């Protein structure tokens, strides 16, 4: 795993992703130069484009296992691609246009190898919003379907952001953990830059981020609210530690990395079980939210203690959960020796980091550079990620 020296010219790229919260499309218009240790990314514009309520509901239903026909699947795939293409067009308004798009798409299913299908050697992960249609609608070369190459060689295909974290957020003095708190949480542990630092990086999905909290808020408000702004509601409650301890016994938290997960595990059925477990304690809504927050931060702290080679000096939060002040405060209490900050505080936008990462992954694909980190995904080696789709105006030969 040797950093390479590739001569590059600054490239304007759009990164697109809708994550496991299914709250909308994060779009980042960036200017990228360099390749690895000299990688530089300037964020020109970042915007979230919410899905229509109808499309969001369909996506959540498909993700939750509701049966649909192949024709309906194709229609959802194309509706997502059209929404992604519209986001890509919109983010460029008023700026020099981009020459490349990196689109993660929308995950609707993720099954790591040997989970629920012990005899199948390869995992399965499905992201909708086909890149070919995005390229067709925008006229811009589009890289998509990033996870499949890693999965095809036996990796989890997730998390994929760690290699980007490594080159944008490593430091010569500080050992860092980059902790994303989206629907699902994931960490990238980065030792200080030095000999073999890249091969010493560790990364995995820590478990629930906001997924259970959001579902609980929706349940408690009868669909009136979709999340707990700043964690204010949870902050007015008291966590039930016996429940948190009970929930932390769950297998996933004890599985050694590399590991990945999704709403298939930490989704509606999981929350229903949590509500059943909580019934004897007669928690009020605020206590329930405080307890679920404690599960998120407890699972993060537990996984650091169990699986990191050493505690970091800094944890840099990103993703929507980094705005949840109560959650951040609770995490700081559980990690007293660590400074809990956000990636904003070291110059990388915490809301658009994932979108930026998929712009970088597309750029690396175009340069012929690998995008995965084998220590993060469990793949046997580095590999090129993403399928390239050319727009109709490009001469193919």
Ligand X SMILES: Nc1ncnc2c1ncn2[C@@H]1O[C@H](COP(=O)(O)OP(=O)(O)OP(=O)(O)O)[C@@H](O)[C@H]1O
Ligand Y SMILES: CC(=O)N[C@H]1[C@@H]2OC[C@@H](O2)[C@@H](O)[C@@H]1O[C@H](C)C(=O)O
| Window 221-280: residues binding ligand X (CB under 6 A) | 227-231
Structure tokens given for 123: 């995992």
Burial of 178 (0-12, 13-18, 19+ CB in 10 A): buried
User: By CB under 6 A, is residue 91 in contact with ligand Y?
Assistant: no
CB of 235: closest distance to ligand X in angstroms?
Answer: 11
Angle at 183 between CA 182 and CA 184, to 5 degrees: 85
User: By CB under 6 A, is residue 161 in contact with ligand Y?
Assistant: yes
CB of 236: closest distance to ligand Y in angstroms?
Answer: 28
User: By CB under 6 A, is residue 144 in contact with ligand Y?
Assistant: no
Q: With CB cut-offs between 5 and 8 Å by kind, which of ligand X, ligand Y, none does residue 320 bind?
A: ligand X
| Window 331-370: residues binding ligand X (CB under 6 A) | 354
Answer for which of 182, 237, 239, 312 binds ligand X (CB under 6 A) is 182
Burial of 318 (0-12, 13-18, 19+ CB in 10 A): buried
State the residue for tokens 């994550």. Answer: 19
Q: With CB cut-offs between 5 and 8 Å by kind, which of ligand X, ligand Y, none does residue 260 bind?
A: ligand Y
Q: Which residues contact 102 (CB under 8 A, 6 or more apart)?
A: 13, 14, 15, 16, 142, 143, 144, 146, 358, 359, 360, 361, 362, 363, 365, 386
The answer to whether residues 14 and 27 touch, using CB atoms and an 8 Å cutoff, is yes
Answer for which of 123, 129, 157, 183 binds ligand X (CB under 6 A) is 183
Q: Which is closer to ligand Y, CB of 30 or CB of 158?
A: 158
80 is in an annotated binding site: no
Neighbours of 71 (CB within 10 A): 8
* CA dist., res. 322 & res. 311, Å (int): 20
User: By CB under 6 A, is residue 320 in contact with ligand X?
Assistant: yes
Q: With CB cut-offs between 5 and 8 Å by kind, which of ligand Y, ligand X, none does residue 141 bind?
A: none
Q: With CB cut-offs between 5 and 8 Å by kind, which of ligand X, ligand Y, none does residue 159 bind?
A: ligand Y
Q: With CB cut-offs between 5 and 8 Å by kind, which of ligand Y, ligand X, none does residue 229 bind?
A: ligand X
The answer to whether residues 391 and 135 touch, using CB atoms and an 8 Å cutoff, is yes
| Window 354-373: residues binding ligand Y (CB under 6 A) | 354
Q: Which is closer to ligand Y, CB of 208 or CB of 237?
A: 208
Is the peptide bond between 294 and the residue preceding it cis, with omega within 30 degrees of 0? no
Neighbours of 153 (CB within 10 A): 16
Angle at 158 between CA 376 and CA 140, to 5 degrees: 120
| Window 167-186: residues binding ligand Y (CB under 6 A) | 180, 182, 184, 186
Answer for which of 321, 371, 374, 386 binds ligand X (CB under 6 A) is 321
Q: Which is closer to ligand X, CB of 264 or CB of 369?
A: 264
Element spanning 181, H or E: strand 176-181
The SS3 call for residue 153 is coil
20 is in an annotated binding site: yes
Structure tokens given for 133: 């249609």
Q: Which residues are annotated binding-site positions for ATP?
A: 19-26
- Residues in binding site: 19-26
Interacting residues with ligand Y (CB under 6 A)? 19-20, 107, 110, 125, 158-161, 180, 182, 184, 186, 205, 260, 262, 354
């Amino acid at each position: 795993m040797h950093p390479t020296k590739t001569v590059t010219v600054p490239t304007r790229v759009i990164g697109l992703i809708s994550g496991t919260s299914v709250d909308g499309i994060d779009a980042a218009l960036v200017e990228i130069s360099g390749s690895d240790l000299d990688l530089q990314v300037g964020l020109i514009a970042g915007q979230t484009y919410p899905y229509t309520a109808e499309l969001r509901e369909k996506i959540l239903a498909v993700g939750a296992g509701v049966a649909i026909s192949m024709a309906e699947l194709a229609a959802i795939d194309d509706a997502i691609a059209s929404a992604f293409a519209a986001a890509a067009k919109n983010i460029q308004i008023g700026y020099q246009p981009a020459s490349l798009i990196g689109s993660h798409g929308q995950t609707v299913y993720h099954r790591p190898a040997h989970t629920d299908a012990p005899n199948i050697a390869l995992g399965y992960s499905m992201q909708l919003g086909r890149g070919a249609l995005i390229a067709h609608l925008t006229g811009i070369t589009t890289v998509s379907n990033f996870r499949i190459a890693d999965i095809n060689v036996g990796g989890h295909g997730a998390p994929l952001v760690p290699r980007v974290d490594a080159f944008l957020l490593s430091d010569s003095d500080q050992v860092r953990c980059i902790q994303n708190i989206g629907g699902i949480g994931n960490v990238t542990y980065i030792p200080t830059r030095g000999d073999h630092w890249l091969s010493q990086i560790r990364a995995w999905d820590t478990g629930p981020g906001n997924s259970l909290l959001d579902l609980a808020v929706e349940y408690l408000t009868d669909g009136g609210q979709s999340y707990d702004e700043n964690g204010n509601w949870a902050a007015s409650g008291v966590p039930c530690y016996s429940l948190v301890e009970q929930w932390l016994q769950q297998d996933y938290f004890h599985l050694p990395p590399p590991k990945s997960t999704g709403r298939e595990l930490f989704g509606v059925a999981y929350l229903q079980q949590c509500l059943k477990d909580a019934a004897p304690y007669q928690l009020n809504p605020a206590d329930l939210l405080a307890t679920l927050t404690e599960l998120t931060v407890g699972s993060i702290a537990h996984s650091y203690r169990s699986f990191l080679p050493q505690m970091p000096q800094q944890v840099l939060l990103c993703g929507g959960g980094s705005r949840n002040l109560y959650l951040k405060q609770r995490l700081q209490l559980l990690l007293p020796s660590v400074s809990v900050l956000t990636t904003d505080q070291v110059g990388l936008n915490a809301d658009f980091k994932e979108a930026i990462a998929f712009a970088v992954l597309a750029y690396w694909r175009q340069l012929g550079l690998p995008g995965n980190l084998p220590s993060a995904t469990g793949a046997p080696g580095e590999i090129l990620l993403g399928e390239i789709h050319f727009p109709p105006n490009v001469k193919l030969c």
